Structure 1
Amino acid sequence: MIKVLVVEDSPVVREFLIHILSSDPDITVIATAGDGAEALAAVRRQKPDVITMDIHMPKLNGLEATRLIMETDPIPVVIVSGSEDPSEIATTFDALDAGALAVLRRPASIGHPDHTATAMDMIQTVRLMSEVKVIRRWPRMRAITAIPRRPSLMSARESAKISIVAIGASTGGPPALEVILAALPKTFPVPVLIVQHMSAGFITGFAQWLRNSSRLPVHVATHGELLLPGHVYIAPDEYQMKVEREGTIALARDAREHGLRPSISYLFRSVADVYGCNSAAGLLTGMGRDGANELRLLKEHGAVTFAQDKESSVVHGMPGEAIKLNAATLVLPLEKIAAALTNLVNDRERLKRDA
């Protein structure tokens, strides 16, 4: 049985979450808490396998409770938010910096058309997070040290001419992306496209959260948008995102891939087709195998490909699958990915100047 602690200040919402979780025969709610202080006591007393955590609570909020739990009794934490305000949603991502594994929207009420799907999403997330035994936290890289020169990248490719970077991430991805984007210089000369698997309703807040630390402009992508150098584009909810030969973004309600929309595989195929050897692409921490085969396709097209290493990943599913397929030109710890990308695009700019 998966033992869950439900932390929520509203008694009505608390009972609602208990009802949903208890519908799974493999999940049992062993305790509840109405605020962060009660949650800390329950963790010490009950030793749950997973915690669902509200953010806005009296006495001790969910962010501080998560931080203290991760410092004392590390347990997988899933943030469950009922807010629809992008600015408030953005603050929930600070809990991921504190060590939480995932952020979910509170399931829709019983009778709502989305109730079954959102309830199953919560159950599946709790089940998956219960399997994560090691929870890693990464330091914020606000102060960026000098980027090391050429860290063995030219052994991967002698004359990189990178025109675009594409990145896919899932579980553990938000703080990993924050680290990478915070470390990229404001002069980064190519566009960065991102697919981050995330519950619907959080992408706008996620982009706003990333803007707090990124030196590059961060956007939620729009259909027909022209790709600009040094800008970051995040795939929106419920749309597949691809690039087109005119240097623009196309969004479509095309079929889900690996059960996902947006899908990393969908983006990577278009990058391989349009940019081929003039691209860099990589997979970060996350469950599943979305994008792994397509990363191999990119490598076969001459792109520089990378995968986050196991030690710095919360879950090594997607990057691990890519490594098994020999799809990654480079296997890198999180803290070295930004330097690698910067060196690759600087080589491109150097080649342009020398031409």
Structure 2
Amino acid sequence: MPTKVLLVEDSPIALELLKRLLTDSAEVEIVGTAQNGREALDLIPKVNPDVICSDLHMAPIDGLELTKQVMAKFPRPILVISNFVRENDTKHIFGLLQAGAVDIFPKPASSDYTDYARVQHRLIAKIKMLSQVTVKARTQSSELRSDRSGNLVGVASPLENRSSALRAIAIGASTGGPQAIHKIITSLPADFPIPIICAQHIGDGFLTGLITWLKEDSQLQVKIAQMGETPAPKTVYFAPERAHLEFDARGKFIYSNFTTPTGTCPSIDTLFQAVARTYGSASASILLTGSGTDGVVGTEAIQAAGGTTIAQDEHGCLIFEMSKSAIASGWVKHVLGLSEIAPFLIDKSEY
């Protein structure tokens, strides 16, 4: 059975390109098109799509309001297809994820025919993957929010008075990862003494926006890891787009671009293995939501080095495949719910 898709796009050119990309595939069936959120809300109960692909900027109901109403009335996976074209788009795009959208995809360029096949393959694969995701009804009160309760923020003692058995924490995530990482780092105190290093699978062009979104809510510094930089406390680092993140002999960040068995870039396995080599038993890995097996080999490397290995449990995990594969491998020491991870890290930092 083909995946039924509803396209919501106010640009006739962009809509035509999306239709052309999808109608060439027997795996996808376009069951409706809408020019704005109002038309989409009228169509959803009639065409019953498996996945909704929506733009951000539309009137009278834009992508953010559409997402909120869909998740309250007709919960199903939403793929945001958009580009950052305005100064405040970062907040809005990632606000869509916070409101319940599952993932984001760069809007195809109408003139970029050389990449047509590649974009088509990636878009169809993304839609097929999202069609397997089960989403639950949401109200505004149940949306993902920063957890800055006093009992969490006040747990840690001043940095200068604390030593830690852990020296580096590596996080790997794919689909659903931005929401999960947001939950974790916004629950950590401003003086959290251990650098956090992330490999997040995300569409081209969205990493800077993700970092901006996280910086707005987190008490920690959030940035792209720079070549030659040494990981520092109170900071969350991200691997850059289209490169793997590793360390040189002095423990400073370096980029690499070799092909990995999982074919993902940045590679979670590469990051975890690099952290294991550099920090040994003082390392920790956290594997979050996502599809595929990237991170399983890296989790083994952390465990073999004597480090701490964590995987997100199935409850609340948007896509359990990646975490499940690591758990099944036997290399995961701790299987935790998303809300349990930050308190666990805080506890591990108090030595």
Question: TM-score, with normalisation over the residues of structure 1?
Answer: 0.91
Give yes or no for the alignment of 1:334 onto 2:338. yes
Identical-residue share of aligned pairs (%): 35
Q: Indicate which of 169, 180, 184 corresponds to 2:184.
A: 180
CA distance in 2, matches of 1:160, 1:324: 30
CA distance in 1, matches of 2:201, 2:175: 7
In structure 2, give the amino acid aligned to 1:214: S
Q: Which residue of 1 aligns with 2:315?
A: 311
CA distance in 1, matches of 2:228, 2:271: 15
Q: Which residue of 2 aligns with 1:146?
A: 151
In structure 2, give the amino acid aligned to 1:123: I
Cα displacement (A) at 1:293: 2.0
CA contact (8 A) 2:99 2:144 kept: no
SS at structure 1 position matched to 2:245: strand
SS at structure 2 position matched to 1:212: helix
CA distance in 2, matches of 1:191, 1:39: 43
Q: Which residue of 1 aligns with 2:199?
A: 195
Using a 3 Å threshold, how does the CA distance of structure 1 residues 24 and 35 change in structure 2: closer, same or farther? Answer: same
**RMSD, aligned α-carbons:** 2.0
Cα displacement (A) at 1:225: 1.7
Q: Which residue of 2 aligns with 1:295?
A: 299
Using a 3 Å threshold, how does the CA distance of structure 1 residues 282 and 86 change in structure 2: closer, same or farther? Answer: farther
CA contact (8 A) 1:20 1:119 kept: yes
SS at structure 1 position matched to 2:52: strand
CA distance in 1, matches of 2:314, 2:154: 24
Q: Which residue of 1 aligns with 2:47?
A: 46
Q: Indicate which of 219, 244, 247 corresponds to 1:243.
A: 247
In structure 1, give the amino acid aligned to 2:58: M
CA distance in 1, matches of 2:137, 2:169: 25
1:123-172 deviation digits (Å, cap 9, x = unpaired)? 1100110111235875313432414999xxxxxxxx97100000000111
Q: Which residue of 1 aligns with 2:158?
A: none
Q: Indicate which of 334, 344, 348 corresponds to 1:344.
A: 348
Cα displacement (A) at 1:107: 2.0
Q: Indicate which of 172, 175, 179 corresponds to 1:171.
A: 175
Give yes or no for the alignment of 1:118 onto 2:122. no
SS at structure 2 position matched to 1:91: helix
CA distance in 1, matches of 2:153, 2:332: 21
1:175-231 deviation digits (Å, cap 9, x = unpaired)? 111010100100101111001101111101110011111110100122112211111
CA contact (8 A) 1:293 1:327 kept: no
Q: Which residue of 2 aligns with 1:105?
A: 106
Using a 3 Å threshold, how does the CA distance of structure 1 residues 290 and 73 change in structure 2: closer, same or farther? Answer: same
- Gapped regions of structure 2 (runs ≥ 5): 156-162
Using a 3 Å threshold, how does the CA distance of structure 1 residues 317 and 53 change in structure 2: closer, same or farther? Answer: same
CA distance in 2, matches of 1:276, 1:87: 41
CA distance in 2, matches of 1:122, 1:180: 29
CA distance in 2, matches of 1:314, 1:199: 17
CA distance in 1, matches of 2:322, 2:174: 8
SS at structure 1 position matched to 2:90: helix
SS at structure 2 position matched to 1:176: helix
- Gapped regions of structure 1 (runs ≥ 5): 151-158, 348-355
In structure 2, give the amino acid aligned to 1:143: R
In structure 2, give the amino acid aligned to 1:345: S
CA distance in 1, matches of 2:112, 2:82: 20
In structure 2, give the amino acid aligned to 1:184: L
Q: Which residue of 1 aligns with 2:27?
A: 26
Give yes or no for the alignment of 1:263 onto 2:264. no
